[in-house]
């Protein structure tokens, strides 16, 4: 009789190992879905923004995160100078630039 009990325990131990693996499959699938839907697109946007900031040049027309539209008059390592109105310039960090606008967007009044 003890012979049958030991066989039954051996079967439960083997199925327990595969059962544990089956419990982790949904977690792995959730991580894969998060990677492709959230993490990867965010990394792509961050890379594009780094390239945009690195390629800023004089006379580019930009919009800052605060909504200021202006023309770049000077570029430093970490700051740029924006002309936002005639004879009015401000200095902002390069990373505050949200987008480069098409030429002609900023018009002097």
3-state SS string over the chain? CHHHHHHHHHHHHHHHHHHHHHHHHHHHHHHHHHHHHHHHHHHHHHHHHHHHHHCCCCCCEEEECCCCEEEEEEECCCEEEEEEECCEEEEEEHHHEEEEECCCCCCCC
Nearest-angstrom CA–CA distance, 52 and 64: 12
- pLDDT tens digits for range 38-67: 999 999 999 999 999 999 999 999 999 999
- pLDDT tens digits for range 3-34: 555 555 555 555 556 778 888 899 999 999 99
Cα 60 to the center of its chain, rounded Å: 24
Quote the pTM value: 0.70
């Amino acid at each position: 009789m003890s012979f049958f009990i030991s066989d039954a325990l051996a079967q439960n131990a083997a199925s327990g190992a595969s059962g544990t693996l089956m419990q982790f499959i949904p977690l792995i699938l959730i991580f894969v879905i998060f990677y492709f839907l959230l993490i990867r697109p965010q990394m792509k946007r961050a890379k594009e923004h780094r390239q945009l900031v690195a390629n800023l040049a004089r006379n580019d027309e930009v919009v800052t995160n605060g909504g200021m539209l202006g023309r770049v008059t000077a570029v430093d390592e970490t700051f740029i100078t924006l002309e936002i109105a005639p004879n009015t310039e401000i200095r902002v960090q390069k990373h505050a630039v949200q987008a480069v606008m098409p030429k002609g967007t900023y018009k002097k009044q």
